A and B are shown apart, each in its own frame.
Chain A
Amino acid sequence: MSTTFLPCGDYHQNYKQEHAWWQTKFIEAKMILLLIVLFVIIPLVADSYVLSILNLVGYTILGALGVQLLIGFCGQITLGHAAFIAVGAYTSTLLILEFPWPKFMIDWGVAYPISVLVAGIAAGIWSVFFGLPSARVKGFYLILTTMAAQFITVDFIITQYVSQIGGRGQAFSLPPGTIKIGPWVIDSDLKVYFMMLILLIVCVIGVVNLLRSRVGRAWIAIRDNDISAEVMGINVVKYKLLAFYVSGFIGGIAGAFWISNLAAISPEHFPWFWSLWLVGVILIGGIGSIHGTIFGAIFMVVVMELLQLAVMPFADIYPKLLMDFLFIKEAAFGLAICLFLMFEPNGLAYRWWQIKNYFNLWPFSY
């Protein structure tokens, strides 16, 4: 997917313009409008149900961003990303619960932001550890290694050992008021929403900027053909591991963010299903596109909610349906992935690109 065609009459005159974030005044206006909608209008009109769905969307985007980076831009297929999200979530929780913070740090509310950063770093290192085999293997074998990461991390280490720390049993519950950023205690959907937006914008900007730098070009070269990348003088192993690190870092931040929305975290929040779900999101959105990640996340979450709304009226007639909805959701997710891969392998981002070009080039589309 190449860049969008500019409207008739707009031309880039230098390199800087071509790499600009917002290439025309019109796009700039659109983006500012989008920001206003996100930061002002949605919080004003949305009720807590809508906000909770938006938060789920945001969490999915944050998680899928790392997967997109690995699969879509570096070509390293991962089916174990939930493990790194879990590492992030548990690092942050344990830091908040167990670390002897000085009193003033808790009062100033810096404990949680620091724990988010540490969670990102820890998850990144963990991810590099499981990315090490990528130096030797790729494709299907790498998939197996990342799967092993999922089972070893979540089903074994976290369930059996990490959960025992502090003797709390399986679930770590966070007392209200412990998640605090500066003067604000994150306790309502609205506050989580703002935190999500800010984290999301920072992460997306970070990733996009990485992608248009030397690092990003190296990743894309590795994705397209790692042997020729090596021939061109790119240190393949270093950049692959860097991709694993960054992707794990974002995953860790996603996990650390999500604990603000959960009353208690337990290993069941990070099943293998979630890893596959994230890959499904980027497949449906479009591989190799940041837009695609966002569209895919919105599509999947909203479609599942709509499915739930559609099924629920029948629950009065068939009470079993309420219980079975989880299974319907699984089957629908599976079918959605299959159908998208068969009929729209480029994902939603490709449609978006086509629509945008249609309007940009109208009425002279040749």
Chain B
Amino acid sequence: MELFLMALTTGIMVGGIYALVAIGWVIIYKCSGVLNLAMGEMTLIGAYISLTFYSMGLPFLLALLISLIIGLLLGILTERVFLDKLIGEPVLAVIMVTVGLSFFFKGMVELIWGTDTRVFTPPVFSMEPFHIGQIIIGQVYLWSFVAAIILLIIFVCFFKYTRWGLAMQATADDEMAALSIGVSARFVYAAAWSIAFMAAGVGGTLLGNINGLNISVGYLGLLVLPAVVLGGLNSIPGAIVGGIAIGLLQNFSGVYLDSYFPGGVKEIAPFAFMAIFLLFKPHGFWGWERIERV
């Protein structure tokens, strides 16, 4: 039972981070229709930038802020340089551009920061675990979860109450109508990429705090895919639920299935689950079902 509760809490907390990155993915897809496979490398870039500034002696929050600003600029730049021309191209072209971007980013990250695991020194969160009843939670997990939830709330408020957020929602809903009432589509696309970059950066920084930062944190970007498929590609609540579900699935399979299938069952479970899930419910729980016509 204790094991169960441990896996449950850790799963939910890590899932919160996944949800944050998944939201970035869904925003890009909703606003510009781009299926982004470069999400993992975007988390890497944000994480490494905040790590660099943090090890220069800046306070953690300031480092995070700087990485957010750089993420914003990189997002605009990426959208303008690479993706602007490809709006409306076939799925394969757009996806492969993001794959190309992911290799480009990854190569650059490896060139600049190397491949060794780096840790945040001194540790940002203290090592002393929390005790809630019988459950023991590392502080890192708890604070990461809190930070992820705060950001999720900020995002939701942004979309509900600000002018820019509403413009983005309008574009996602019906691009033509949004254009005709004066929403600038190019602005929306750039904003979507910036937000995704920022969300990914925060997610990467938090994950880097948990296990140290190396190139394998970029694997997170692939885990986002099962999460968004579960929730449906274009649903923000779906992304949150999907992210948490994938975190749970990963931890439970790590705890319970590992004795039956020794080895990396924890890494594979989300993908195997996704492949089976797609057979039964290809549009996820909250995605739009599109009716196809000739």
| B-binding residues in A (CB < 8 A) | 71, 77, 79, 130, 132-133, 136-137, 139-141, 143-145, 147-149, 151-152, 155-156, 159-161, 225, 227-228, 231, 273, 276, 279-280, 283, 287, 324, 326-338, 341-342, 345
Contact = CB atoms under 8 A, between A and B. Distances in A.
Contact of A338 (B104, B110, B268): B104
A279 B222 CA distance: 18
B96 A342 contact: no
Interface string B84-95: 011001011101
Contacts of A287: 92
A276 B99 contact: yes
A152 B100 contact: no
B264 A336 contact: no
Contact of B229 (A141, A228, A341, A345): A141
Nearest to A337: B100
A149 B268 CA distance: 10
B225 interface: yes
Contacts of B136: none
Q: Is the interface of A mostly helix, strand, loop or mixed?
A: helix
Contact of A334 (B93, B100, B272): B100
Contacts of A231: 294
A137 B105 CA distance: 30
A144 B264 contact: no
B267 interface: yes
A137 B108 contact: no
Q: Is the interface of B mostly helix, strand, loop or mixed?
A: helix
Contacts of A156: 263-265, 267-268
Given A139-B91, A156-B265, 8 more contacts: A71-B92, A273-B103, A330-B107, A331-B106, A333-B107, A335-B104, A337-B99, A337-B100
Given A330-B106, A330-B110, A342-B86, A140 B95 contact: yes
A341 B93 contact: yes
Contacts, number: 143
A338 B275 contact: no
A14 B111 CA distance: 59
Contacts of A283: 92-93, 96
Given A137-B278, A141-B278, A335-B100, A152 B106 contact: no
Nearest to B84: A342
B107 A338 contact: no
A147 B222 contact: yes
A133 B99 CA distance: 23
Given A137-B282, A331-B111, A77 B91 contact: yes
Contacts of A149: 275
B97 interface: yes
A345 B263 contact: no
Contacts of A77: 91-92, 95
B92 A133 contact: no
B102 interface: yes
Q: Nearest 4 pairs between A and B by C-beta? A: A331-B107, A334-B103, A337-B100, A334-B104
A331 B108 contact: yes
B256 interface: no
A141 B275 CA distance: 9
Nearest to A77: B92
Contacts of A79: 99
A130 B279 CA distance: 11
B263 A324 contact: no
B292 interface: yes
A285 B42 CA distance: 28
B232 to A, nearest CB: 11
Contact of B95 (A143, A161, A327, A335): A143
Contacts of A328: 107, 111
A227 B290 CA distance: 14
A338 B97 contact: yes
Nearest to B282: A137
Nearest to A273: B103
A228 B293 CA distance: 9
